[in-house]
Each structure stands twice: as structure tokens, then as C-alpha cells.
Amino acid sequence: MAIFDDVRDVVVEQLNVNPEAVKMESKIIEDLGADSLDVVELIMALEEKFDVEIPDSDAEKLISIEDVVKYIEKLDS
């Protein structure tokens, strides 16, 4: 779950939400209150944190925290 912890830390910092609010099933926009600019900044922060590049076409599919974690795990393998 180390990737989840890192993702949660980035989400908490970028969206200024309570860490307890960030769960695997949390939806970035609906549950965590992100707007489109927040999402762009979040993706950029995740790219920097994990040293990866997330194409816009993939970023659009990252709806929940679980989507983000699975995506990064896939890139990591």
C-alpha cells in the first residue's frame, strides 16, 4: 500500500483535504471536491512524485484514487 500512501499525501497537499477523506474508492472530483484546474495540478504533482509521464488521454480515465494507484502500479511494473 506504499503507492496509496504516496498518492494520498500528494492528494492531501494538492487538494487541501483531510487525509481520512482520501480512500481507495474516493472520486477525485465528486468526493474530494477537485475542479478541472485541481485535476491538472494533481496530475502534474503525481508525475513529479513518481517520476512518470501521464498522457492526457490516460489522465481523463483517472476518476478515483484507486484508478490512480492502479495506474501508477502498472507503470511501476
Judge whether residue 77 has pLDDT over 90.
no
- From 35, 38, 51, 58, the catalytic residue: 35
Predicted pLDDT at 15: 98
pTM summary value: 0.94
The answer for residues whose C-beta is within 8 angstroms of residue 43's C-beta and 6 or more apart is 54, 59, 62
Alpha-carbon span 30 to 74, nearest angstrom: 25
**Collapsed DSSP state (helix, strand, coil) of residue 28:** coil
Judge whether residue 12 has pLDDT over 80.
yes
pLDDT in tens, 41-75: 999 999 999 999 999 999 999 999 999 999 999 99
Provide the CATH topology of domain 3-76: 1.10.1200
**Collapsed DSSP state (helix, strand, coil) of residue 16:** coil
Judge whether residue 1 has pLDDT over 70.
no
Alpha-carbon span 69 to 65, nearest angstrom: 6
35 has catalytic annotation: yes
Which candidate, 36, 40, 28, 38, places its Cα nearest to that of 67? 28
Per-domain boundaries in the chain: 3-76
Predicted pLDDT at 76: 78
